Amino acid sequence: MNNNIFDKKLTQEDVKSLHKSRKKNSVKTENVKAKGLSSNLDEFTPSATTPWDSKRAKHLMRRLRFGASYSDIELYMDSSAGSIVKEALDSAQNGQLPSQPEWYNKYPPPQGSSQAEFVQYFEENFDLVLEYQQNWVREMFENPFREKMVLFWHDHFATEQMKYELAPFAARHFTILRENCLGNFKDLVYKIGKDHAMLIYLDSVENRNGSPNENYARELLELFTMGIGNYSQNDITDISRALTGFYVNFFNFDAGFYSGFHDSGEKTFFGRTGNFGYDDVIDIIFEERADEIAEFVCSKLYRFFLYETPNSSVVSELAEIFKNSNFEIRPVVETLLKSEHFFDEELMGAMFKSPVDYLLGMYAENDLLPNQEFSEIQPYLFFVMEQFLFNPPNVAGWPGYRSWLSTTTLPYRWIIAEYVGYYSSSNPSDPYKVDPIAIANKFEDPNDPYKLSYDLAEFLLPVDLPEDELTKLPDVLLGGLPDYEWNLGFQGAAGRILNLIIHIRKLPEYQLM
């Protein structure tokens, strides 16, 4: 096995190399048809044709969290889909937030300090960024649905740490996302625009009277609220003037509004004219473009949870719920995740796993929590799979969907699957190491090599394998051993089970969720 990537410590130069181009990407989906035989948003009710079975339970778990163990699925089977969704959303909205890191107010050296002092500060700062990323991954196991929503908003309100630089600014930014992940969208938009990271990332700190910078105004409309085609260049120009006046003090982390930097002249946008400021901008866009905002955000939520091409009638109905709730996020998410449409057969296994879902899902399936060794290497693993947390490639976020898989990233997934399997089983006495025999014993008849092979495939895969692929699995498990000699007491059983698990994790079907 090639372990070279696991000896690599991520550097700032690595991250910079991933960000040579800051052009917006998009994934073309106009030729990808929507899926789903049903557009019904009524709450899912099991029936003879659509039972509450392990397939639907796994489908729900892959959306509510980052993978699941066999025991998790069994617990889900004892509950209803609606109660599971409610419990996950309650925990996300009401659970205790992680405490702030001790370096939350670690200021840079004061002005006039030596270059060596600044170099040391930024070297330590990069280590703190990696530490904070590692802590986030641990939170993904502790409160998975909250952190799923945080990941969604991180991609939606994309910022790059390599531009705003400071780890304390990352901590402030992600606190806003956590506190508002299922709350009011208008409030979230309001808070994000005044956030240290965003003020720096989209150049609001350079947006001043007489020298406006349109970056934030443009992305506020195009990417954060209503989408292309719902505003004019004049709207951008005058909104940018209304948003002038904000600053961030790099040395003491003060951020706020200074009237001397603000353009107090008359502005006109979306048919309104006045001496508008920041609050007016948020109010007016939600008043004048409520329909467009609702459709845009609900489409993105649909793509995050279900499929790259949204079902237009489902999105329209969700948009009405969004508007009628005064832009509360939870009613939209809860309606979608509880719906008949969500559990449509065509939508199971219809998405490509993101690197986060892929890596964390393998640990969850192994019924393990990542140990310190994993924490130290995971930033680099996300980096090589091209989802380096805190640093999406540009303001449009990660292109996602089909772009997660390429001739570059897929081989890394195979190597990482081997790492999680072989390396994580090298010391069975370590509680952080995978126990293949314990996994096999979860199934009905692990001493039958055929049944065990098929059960493992059913557990790990979101879709059925073609018959010719399915029939190969027992041969992978047996590795030349006669089938009548197979049993879990066989000395090499653990290694052969791992071989099969890794084989399955390299299949195209395993890249789906």
Which long-range contacts does 42-48 make (Cβ < 8 Å, 24+ apart)?
A: 42/339, 42/340, 43/82, 43/338, 43/339, 43/340, 44/81, 44/82, 44/338, 44/339, 44/340, 44/342, 44/343, 45/340
Distance CA 235, CA 241 (A): 10
pLDDT at 22: 46
- With H, G, I as helix, E, B as strand and everything else as coil, classify residue 389: coil
User: Which structure tokens are listed for 105?
Assistant: 């107010």
Q: What are phi and psi of 43, to 5 degrees?
A: -65, 135
Q: How many angstroms separate the Cα of 451 from the Cα of each of 240, 454, 497?
A: 63, 5, 13
Query: Mean pLDDT in runs of 10 for the chain (513 residues)?
Result: 61 67 49 76 95 97 95 94 98 97 98 97 97 96 98 99 98 99 99 99 98 98 98 99 98 98 98 99 99 99 98 98 99 99 96 98 88 84 97 97 96 94 64 84 97 98 96 98 96 95 98 98
- With H, G, I as helix, E, B as strand and everything else as coil, classify residue 453: helix
- With H, G, I as helix, E, B as strand and everything else as coil, classify residue 297: helix
Q: What's the pTM?
A: 0.94
Distance CA 192, CA 217 (A): 13
User: How is residue 142 annotated by DSSP?
Assistant: H
User: How is residue 256 annotated by DSSP?
Assistant: E
pLDDT at 202: 99
pLDDT at 421: 85
The string of DSSP letters for 272-299 reads EEES--HHHHHHHHHHHSHHHHHHHHHH
Q: Are 392 and 19 in contact (CB under 8 A)?
A: no
Q: Give the burial class of 82: count Cβ atoms within 10 A of its Cβ; 0-12 exposed, 13-18 middle, 19 or more buried.
A: middle
